[in-house]
Structure 1
Amino acid sequence: MPPAPALSPGDGRLFIIVMIAVLVSLGVAAAVLWLARGLLLDRLADRVVRRFLKDPYRENLWDLAVGMQRIPPPLLLELELRADKGELLERPLGGLRRYSRWEDIAFNPAQLARRPLPPGAQVDTSAVLGPRAARPLHLATPLLVSAMGYGIGVSKAVALALARGAHQAGTAYNAGSGPVVPEILEAGGPVILQYTGGPWNQVPDQLARAAMVEIRLGHGARGALGRLVRPDRLPEEARRRMGAAGHKSLLLEAPLPETENLRTFRELVDRLRHSTGGAPVGIKLVATHHLEHDLLWVLEAGVDVIAIDGSEGGTSETPPILADDFGIPTLYALVRAAALLEAAGVRQRVSLLAGGGLRTPGEFLKALALGADAVYLGTAVIMAATHGQLSKAIPFEPITQLAWASGQLAGRFDPGQGARTVANFLKACTLEMAEAARALGRDSLRAVDRSDLVARTPEAADLLGLPPAWRPPRSRS
């Protein structure tokens, strides 16, 4: 029998044998590494457990967890930032705590005592602000986009997205305390201009195009404190429109000098009403414990709209002490304001807006039932605007870097996409409230009132004056 031919380098069998040997070697090596890894992890875990269970408490790693129970991670972060810089700390978005317990209120479904509407029945979702004004503001939904100004707060792209999204949903955008760029006024819908005393908020042709003017005296995340704005933190166009020169900070006054006495306050309201050709003139107030006094004061000035901002309100940045420890909750402020307007006999003349921490269609509709004519939405709308674009920031940067004018990623925000998602959010919330109205047997959101609510807790029944859910209604006989 002839001997088998020797394998040559070009023989395919040699390649196959070599590959099998390599794969077997890699498999053996992987198995060894896996076993070693398992042993190392097991030993490491044993060592950690032994340290936790045997080290004295003062040396124990678990002491860190105890410390974080006493100072939770968000507060620990702020503690570290204060210790690092020794400067005034300013937090984005607003307070960490929610004191308005909207979940303690429930809607009372229609059934037999009152019949629900059939599926698909028409529900009027419209709202009118300043009904006695020469030019009332008519909206398709009572959901307003809260004041988020260009430059001082959001970028120009985000401001355009908010304005266009609001208009696509049939509602108004509040341009905030920053300068108003022409693109916002030309976005195709109503714009609420905020008056802060700065010359950039008093441009005659802009006031003439305003659907409403809001005199800002305070807001939930900052109280009634004024603010100095550093020009170096503003975009170039914003600096130019605000008249910022050099390194001198711009002053946003609050309260305004015109509100120091009733005569000058009335003159301001009349002047703004004339400049807008009869559009509603509103006032924005932070909710204080002197709320009733403040409301009577602004009613004397002849305003058409009052916006109450509770302590859960947000802003671009504010010291945590102002956001967490000042003001009264939105829910309580709304109930008190509605009661005052009713007692003063102006409920049909003066519109009431509520804002500060509102997040869901259920909370929006509860606010309407408790007396608001419309609600302001801020943080929720910012989140909606960034929907589908979060990957441009996360996981290495917060979404505020995408939205704020000073954000490192502001140039990556797509205003067209943002406008679509804002409009979708507002439309979806409006549809959800309309469905809730059908379940209440109401053919209009304006018809939903306190009689549609019950309290789930004794505290809510007492504080809000609502019937308790655990007690049947009194007989009508």
Structure 2
Amino acid sequence: MNMKNNIMMGIAGAALGILGIKWGSRFIVNRTLDSAVKTIMTDPYDENLWELISATARVSPQVILETNLRAQRGELINRPLGSPKKFPSLESLMFNFAQLKDLPTPIETPVDTSVIIGKKAKKPFKIGLPMMVSAMAYGEALSADAKWALAKGASKAKTAICSGEGPYLVSERETADTYIYQYNRGDWNDVDHILQNCSAVEIQFGQGALGGAGHVIHAKNIDRKLRKDFKYPKGKDAVAHSRQLRVQEITDLPKFIQNLQEKSGGVPVGTKLAAGKWLEQDMEIACNAGADYIVLDGAEAATYGGPPILEDDFGVPTVFALARGADWLDKTGFHKSVSLIASGKIRTPGEVLKAVALGADACYLGSMALFAMAHDQVLKSLPFEPPTQVVWYKGKDAGQFNKKKGADSLAKYFLSCKAELEVAIKSLGKTSISEVNKDDLFSLDETIAKGLKIPMAYEKANS
């Protein structure tokens, strides 16, 4: 009986202790909160902590952070993964439903989502869906395992990957079924060998997050492994110039493109352009020089690291760049021979289909492909490090990345997107992605409606 009483008294004591802690904690929290609120409500404004809240609301946390980084470093800062600025975007576009006026496609009808790039090239390439892995550089940005996973995932989903600016990575090429070599603005890589082993060549003139700005990887930041891949002697900087080394004048471009077409055996040769005010003139020069495809990279595009001023304050948003580019190709007749690839903050299957409706043959996905590949492996970095630390070349957790799992995750992502595209095409009453066009769209934003010459949601559509 005594033992039972002791147990009961112990339980009661514990319960009272817990209640005491609970009420004590509430008392302390209440007094502390009351004191803090009273201080904020009574302190003069120039001494009031609320000044931080009002200043942040006016300026934004992003600007305050980057102001402090500039003050700390006294040098150019590079922001990863693009601009946080909200540009006019594909998000404001909506698709029509086929119901009675136009009947939806029967559920059992197969849908063709395949795309051919380089329509008039000697060796065009075909992919199973209009989504490709964008250029992301080995060494400058991603680890070798991350690049392998992107290549393998793309191949499993029957689509393409672009090499990016960094050193040629043999394992990536061996893994990728459809490999687009980005002819960068540096002097590394055995280009003649690569040209004989690629599916397409993409001449890099600019990109949405950087324009044509060059950059330098200083020798002190190039480790032994990367220096070997660059094929550089110790002490040499890696310089990505502002201009293509082989195109110092516009008159150099036709011969340069022809040379690449011949050396590669006739694969498509394209140009990558940051979309700017003169995008039609840029496209005209590239098309007249013999380009087989054009990549238009909108202002929202991301990169491993770019100056905020170039990411936030330069370029034409993707939705307008794409519409203008497609319209120019159509008016000049180049749409019959030149493919158009859209790039820059294209995030979902819906936005891919909108880009196709506006005239793109295919889209590049960078950040989304990266996120899909990393999937739950980002938990190896979170919560104490940014999730990208698991895929960057110098990431603190890059050694923990499982490349086979990453490839499977990316492949599943692409296959899921393909399934969404198929059901969307059927909902439009069509059977092929090539049938989707601007007439299938209307807008929720008046500026976009005016710029793209499509109806607003509140307007009656013409038959």
**What interval of TM-score do these two structures reach, taking the shorter chain for normalisation?**
over 0.9
2:168 corresponds to which of 177, 180, 205: 180
State the 1:260 CA deviation.
3.0
Tell me the alpha carbon deviations over residues 80-111 of structure 1, each in whole angstroms, 9 at most, x when there is no partner.
21222222111111111131322322111112
The corresponding residue for 1:110 is 98
Q: Matches of 1:271 and 1:237 in 2, distance apart?
A: 32
User: What's 1:355 paired with?
Assistant: 343
Which of 429, 447, 456 is the aligned partner of 2:435?
Answer: 447
- 2:180 maps to which of 154, 177, 192: 192
Q: Is the 8 A contact 1:235 1:406 kept in 2?
A: no
Q: Distance in 1 between matches of 2:25 and 2:172?
A: 60
In the alignment, which residue of structure 1 is the partner of 2:192?
204
CA distance in 1: counterparts of 2:400 and 2:220, whole angstroms: 21
Name 1:5's counterpart in structure 2.
none
Q: Corresponding residue for 1:215?
A: 203
SS of 2:140 mapped into structure 1: coil
CA contact (8 A) 1:89 1:320 kept: yes
Equivalent residue for 1:306?
294
8 Å CA contact retained: 2:378, 2:388: no
Alignment counterpart, residue 373 of structure 2, candidates 349, 373, 385:
385
Bigger-Rg structure (1/2): 1
CA distance in 2 between counterparts of 1:34 and 1:109 reads 57
| In structure 2, distance between residues paired with 1:103 and 1:316 | 24
Within-5 A mapping of 1:448-463: 448-463=436-451
Report the counterpart of residue 57 of structure 1 in structure 2: 45
Q: 1:294 & 1:235 partners in 2: Cα distance?
A: 37
**Counterpart Cα distance in 2 of 1:121 and 1:408:** 49
Structure 2 Cα separation of the partners of residues 113 and 384 of structure 1: 38
Partner amino acid, structure 1, of 2:295: A
Q: Give the corresponding residue for 2:155.
A: 167
Q: Which amino acid aligns with 1:407?
A: G
SS of the counterpart of 2:271? strand
Cα deviation 1:349-407 (Å, max 9, x = unaligned) = 00000100111111110000000000000011111111111210110000121121121
Q: Which of residues 18, 41, 48 in structure 2 aligns to 1:30?
A: 18
- Residue 126 of structure 2 is aligned to residue 138 of structure 1: yes
Residue identity matched to 2:211 = G
Give the C-alpha shift of residue 270 in structure 1.
Answer: 1.4
2:28 counterpart residue number: 40
2:387 alignment counterpart = 399
1:341 maps to 2:317: no
Which residue of structure 1 lines up, in the alignment, with residue 415 of structure 2?
427
**Counterpart check, 1:332 vs 2:320:** yes
Contact 1:196 1:254 in 2 (8 A): no
Instruction: Report the equivalent of 1:468.
Output: 456
SS, match of residue 238 in structure 1 = helix
- Compared CA separation, residues 457 and 100, structure 1 to 2 (3 A): closer
Q: Name the TM-score, length of structure 1 as normaliser.
A: 0.93
The answer to whether the 8 A contact 1:195-1:201 is kept is no
**RMSD (CA atoms):** 1.8
Tell me which residue corresponds to 1:9.
Answer: none
Whole-angstrom CA distance in 2 between matches of 1:187 and 1:228:
29
Structure 1 residue ranges (4+ consecutive) displaced by more than 6 angstroms after TM superposition: none
Counterparts of 1:9-28 in structure 2 under 5 Å? 20-28=8-16
Unaligned runs of 5+ in 1: 1-12
How far 1:279 sits from its partner (Å)?
0.4
Contact 1:194 1:201 (C-alpha < 8 Å) held by counterparts: no
The question of whether the paired residues in 1 share the 8 Å contact of 2:274 and 2:297 is answered with: yes
Work out whether residues 369 and 450 of structure 1, in 8 Å CA contact, stay in contact via their aligned partners in 2: yes
How far off its partner does 1:447 sit? 0.9
**C-alpha separation in 2, matches of 1:219 and 1:467:** 31
2:142 to 128, 150, 154: 154
Q: Distance in 2 between matches of 1:468 and 1:428?
A: 30
Q: Measure how far apart 1:267 and its partner are.
A: 1.8
Corresponding position of 1:436: 424
8 Å Cα contact 2:297/2:342 also seen in 1: yes
Deviations 1:239-294 (A, max 9, x none): 21212333332111232132233442122111211221110001000011011111
Is the alpha carbon distance of 1:324 and 1:301 closer, same or farther for their aligned partners in structure 2, counting shifts above 3 Å? same
Question: Secondary structure of 2:257's match?
Answer: helix
**Change in CA separation of 1:235 and 1:451 when aligned onto 2, cut-off 3 Å:** farther
Separation in 2 of the partners of 1:158 and 1:237?
Answer: 16
The answer as to whether partners of 1:105 and 1:455 remain within 8 angstroms in 2 is yes
Does residue 417 (structure 1) correspond to residue 405 (structure 2)? The answer is: yes
Deviations 1:121-168 (A, max 9, x none): 211000000011111011111101000111011111110111110111
Q: Counterpart of 1:331 in 2: which secondary structure?
A: helix
Give the whole-Å Cα distance in 2 for the aligned partners of 1:164 and 1:156: 12
Number of residue pairs the alignment of both structures matches: 463
Structure-1 separation of matches of 2:86 and 2:224 = 37
In 1, Cα distance between equivalents of 2:245 and 2:232? 21
Q: What secondary structure is seen at the aligned counterpart in 1 of 2:286? A: helix
Aligned residue for 1:221, secondary structure, equals: coil
Q: 1:401 to 1:233 in 2, by over 3 A?
A: farther
Q: Which amino acid aligns with 1:286?
A: A
Please give the alpha-carbon distance, in whole angstroms, between the structure 2 residues aligned to 1:235 and 1:115.
Answer: 60
In the alignment, the residues of structure 2 paired with residue 28 and residue 362 of structure 1 have an alpha-carbon distance, to the nearest angstrom, of: 58
In structure 1, what residue type is equivalent to 2:173? L
Shift, 1:234, TM fit = 4.0
Q: 1:82 pairs with 54, 70, 74, which one? A: 70
Name the counterpart of 1:73.
61
Offset from partner CA, 1:40-79 (integer Å, 9 cap, x none): 1221122122122222222222111101102222222212
Q: CA deviation at 1:469?
A: 3.0
